[in-house]
Amino acid sequence: MDDPFTFGRIAATNAISDVYAMGGRPVTALNLVFFPSCSLDREVMAEILRGGQQVLSEAGVCLVGGHTVEDDELKYGLAVTGLVDPERIVRNNTPRPGDRLILTKPLGTGIISTAIKGEIASAEQIREAVGWMTRSNRRASELMLSCGASAATDVTGFGLIGHACEMAGAGEVTLSLQIDDIGLMNGVADLVAGGMVPAGAYRNRDHFGRRISGLPHSADSLLPLFDPQTSGGLLISLPPEGAESYLRKSSEEGLYAAVIGSVLAKGESPVAVI
């Protein structure tokens, strides 16, 4: 993002999401900044840190320090420490056959970011992408705990397919994804048709494509499923009654949640796309 304050907010939201994905509560954070002071004004750094601090304050996370390094390229992130009840940890590789799969944000941030770099993303697309990237997974995490989630992961750099393969674990189950039920941000399909696909999506496809069955992994319609997400939503595995409760509560609170598939007994591949 060109706006440093928004850049900071996205980075912080992304960083604390890993704790939420395990059903934990983020408590402390360290800022990590790599900054080219010879080419950027220090006010840019101040705005980035202000954006990150706003997100931490909203989440009740205490900033306890940080490290700043001179570098040729701007980088900002946070090392986050959280707390979780050992009896209630939600792991990323323990889904059960019969579970329903819920996704809590639509896909497309990598594709829209590529369009931003290519200067063809519309203002509406940028606003939508920023809105999702700065939306906390805190409430989604709280709901999954109350609804008895058996597994969860946040969807980030490996894309939905990559993280679904991760969730399938050692291959004891197959995650069946319904492609028509997977939400995309506005205009993503058109951007894919126009070639606005990040290199990371192709790398994800090359690596994880061999681990899926169903639709041919070379199909353009699958590229958004390989799209590396920044601050993506949670992919949650819930028993049927828990999934119904999750959807009802999400709807009551105006939160995004969509059933995108189910967990099956072990099949020919970790992930099937139908």
184-210 residue pLDDT tens = 999 999 999 999 999 999 999 999 999
**pLDDT of the residue at 220:** 83
Mean pLDDT of the chain: 95
Strand 151-154 versus strand 100-103 pairing type: unpaired
Q: Is the pLDDT of residue 171 over 80?
A: no
Q: Which residues of 185-206 are buried (b: 16+ CB within 10 A; e: fewer)?
A: bbbbbebbeeebbbebbebbbe
- CB-CB contact of 260 with 102 (8 Å): yes
All residues at 6 or more sequence positions from 2 whose CB lies less than 8 Å from its CB, including other chains: none
Nearest to 22 by CA among 96, 101, 89, 94: 89
Summarised one tens digit per residue, pLDDT across range 104-118 is: 999 999 999 999 999
- 201 vs 214, which has greater pLDDT? 201
By CB neighbour count within 10 A (0-12 exposed, 13-18 middle, 19+ buried), where does 3 fall?
A: middle
CATH of range 90-273; options 3.40.50.170, 3.40.50.300, 3.90.650.10, 2.60.40.10: 3.90.650.10
Class of the 4-87 domain?
alpha beta
pLDDT value of residue 216: 76
Look at residue 217 and tell me whether its pLDDT is greater than 70: no
Q: What is the pLDDT of residues 39-65, one digit of tens each?
A: 889 999 999 999 999 999 999 999 999
Domain boundaries, the chain: 4-87, 90-273
